[in-house]
Amino acid sequence: METRENTETDSSSQWCAWHQGHTFTARLVRDPADQGSGAGAPSLYACGPCRYAYDLVPLGEQS
């Protein structure tokens, strides 16, 4: 799965790691630093439809 590093904003196109395309609805769903993957591993973003289809929860909404 190819990923790209992006900032989480609503005003720019971001890369969805699940459908492999640009979107305006991407949110950060996985941060490798939190999973012990080490430095250099990219963060993963998912668009609205992919978050729904794969039951992904944005990091800001995880408890």
Classify residue 50: in a domain, yes or no.
yes
Number of domains the chain is built from: 1
Classify residue 7: in a domain, yes or no.
no
Classify residue 29: in a domain, yes or no.
yes
- Domain range for 25 is 14-61
Classify residue 34: in a domain, yes or no.
yes
Classify residue 38: in a domain, yes or no.
yes
Return the amino acid letter for 57: V
What does DSSP assign to residue 23? E
- Which pLDDT tens digits describe the chain residue by residue (63 residues)? 554 554 444 468 899 999 999 999 999 998 766 666 566 677 899 999 999 999 999 998 887
Name, in order, each residue with C-beta under 8 angstroms of 12's C-beta and a sequence gap of 6 or more.
6, 24
45: number of Cβ within 10 Å: 27
pLDDT of residue 35: 60
